[in-house]
Structures are given as C-alpha cells and as structure tokens.
Amino acid sequence: MGKAHYQQNSATLRKNQHQTYCLQINLQHSRSAIYNMMKIIEKEEPDLIFVQEPYEYQNKPVGIGKKCRIFTAGNGKHRSAIVIPNNKIDAMLITQISNEDTVLDIMHEKMKFFAVSMYLDIEEQIENSFTNIDEILQFAKGTNILIAADSNSRSKTWRDKITNSRRKKLEEYLASRHLHIINEESEMFTFHNSRGTSSIDLTITNNNLIADCMSGK
C-alpha cells in the first residue's frame, strides 16, 4: 500500500503523575491514511485522536478498529471526528454544540475537559468558524477546553514557512478570546503532500486548562 499524505500534530496534557496523550490527524478522506492511522495507534498508544476529513463510506467513518470509539456529529459527509482508543476515558458527545465540529466532554483520571475537533474550510470565510468557537466557549464557560483544528491558516508564529491572509484574523481572534496555541515543538511540518509542506494544524487551549495542568491539584 502506498504511503498516504496526511497531517499529524500532537499534544500531551499533564497533571501530577497523570497525562493524556492526544494526536491530531487530517486523513484527507483517504483510505490509505486510515490504514496508517491504525498503525500509529498501535505504535504510539494515544488516548485521544482529533480527526479532520475522516475516511467514510456512505457518510460513516470506516476502517477504524473495533477497540476504538469514534464520535461524529451532524448529517452527511463529516469533516471532523474524535477517536478514543483508551477504554478508560469517559466521553460524551455534546450534541447542542456539535454540528460539523465534534465536541466531547472528557474525563480521564483527574483531567476533565471539553475536546473539540474542527476543520476550518479554506473555501469559507474564517469568521464563520469564529462564530462556532464562540458558541463552544459560551457553553463551556469557566471549564477546560482543548481544540485541535485544521486551520488552513499559515503563519510563522506557529513555525510555518510563510504567512497567509487568514493568519492575522485568526491570531487576533484567539488573542481576543484569551486562547493559546500550544503546539509541541517539532522540526517537522504538520502537513505534507506532493505539492509541498506547511504547518496549519493547531492545538488551542484556554487559561483554565493551562492553570489546571499547572496547579497540581
């Protein structure tokens, strides 16, 4: 099977001796990419995987092992999902604010947070995604939030090679909502295909989650 072109990013939440290892992968609706993702699950044993552009058949994600739970929201072709290989994680889909985005209420050991998988379509005005994030922030007000988003926004701020026009709007929006990009340091780009490389996958969190991880309580 040929090597799939896909995006990968990671983040690890740590609190005391407990940690939650999260991966973010854009499968680009590719069958071969889902095969590679299952290999990654076997090798790296992540707790959560935030998926964008999942591979589907008849609008249902396929190719994911039976030991994994998969959550999607909305009708038709999905542009996001969350896969949970770890059976010790409690998860509930928040249907009120999950539409094309997938929002879960997660409890893992002593860590409780809202997990959000998002795809910011480059064909749409980025402000539309800001409205969706605002709804999530309002619902989860005062609690921990972790967002993994394929932003389709390029900026040297998050170690991409270039900056595009969507970058400024996104940076200003995140600052205005006190949200922070916490991509783990890496020499690798988060996206690669035959046309080139870029870093457009972002791990975003709020002050509450940062404070909770640092508190040690």
| pLDDT tens, position by position, 196-205 | 333 458 889 9
pLDDT, the chain, mean: 82
Q: What's the pLDDT score for residue 192?
A: 42
Q: What's the pLDDT score for residue 189?
A: 34
Give which of 158, 74, 76, 62 is closest to 117, Cα–Cα. 74
**What is the rounded CA–CA span in Å between residue 86 and residue 14?**
16
Say if CB 61 and CB 72 are below 8 A apart: yes
79-129 per-position pLDDT tens digit: 999 999 999 999 999 999 998 899 999 999 888 999 999 998 888 898 999
Please name the residues in contact with 210: beta carbons below 8 A apart, sequence gap of 6 or more: 180, 182
For the chain, list residues with pLDDT below 70. 1-10, 14-17, 154-164, 183-200, 215-217
Say if CB 64 and CB 38 are below 8 A apart: yes
Question: Bridge partners of 128?
Answer: none
Quote the distance between the C-alpha of residue 96 and its chain's center.
19
**How many Cβ atoms from other residues are within 10 Å of residue 213's Cβ?**
21
Say if CB 179 and CB 114 are below 8 A apart: no
Spatial strand order of the sheet with 7-15 comes to 7-15, 18-26, 48-52, 80-84, 69-71
Collapsing DSSP states into helix, strand and coil, what is residue 5? coil
Q: What's the pLDDT score for residue 1?
A: 30
Burial label, 5 (beta-carbon count in 10 A; 0-12, 13-18, 19+): middle
**What is the rounded CA–CA span in Å between residue 126 and residue 128?**
5
Give which of 18, 181, 113 is closest to 104, Cα–Cα. 113
CATH number of the domain at 7-215, please? 3.60.10.10
**What is the rounded CA–CA span in Å between residue 100 and residue 74?**
6
DSSP string, 202-215: EEEEEHHHHHHHHH
